[in-house]
Homo-oligomer: A and B are copies of this chain.
Amino acid sequence: MLEAQIYVTLKRSVLDPQGETVKSGLASLGFTGVEDCRVGKFLVLTLGETDPERARGQVEEMCRRLLANPVIEEYRFQLREVAG
């Protein structure tokens, strides 16, 4: 079986209020050395598909159609073989 690890992040040009909130939270705990914080999603999919080429195409399409909002987000992913 294949596992897809997908990272969905806001584009650099998009404001990240959740990241700002985390940064403030860290600052109020004394971690004042954080200059920037961006928060994204990390998805792990286990796929029945065993052919890496086909799996890559499917995950690409899942990202475009559901997992990421291409207007404000970007994504990348990697596939790895896992024990079924």
Contact = CB atoms under 8 A, between A and B. Distances in A.
Interface residues on A, range: 20 to 34
B40 A36 contact: no
A31 B46 contact: no
B34 A46 contact: yes
Number of copies of this chain that the complex holds: 2
Interface in A1-59: 1, 7-9, 19, 22, 25-26, 29, 31, 33-49, 58
B43 A40 contact: yes
A40 to B, nearest CB: 4
Interface of A: 1, 7-9, 19, 22, 25-26, 29, 31, 33-49, 58, 61-62, 65-67
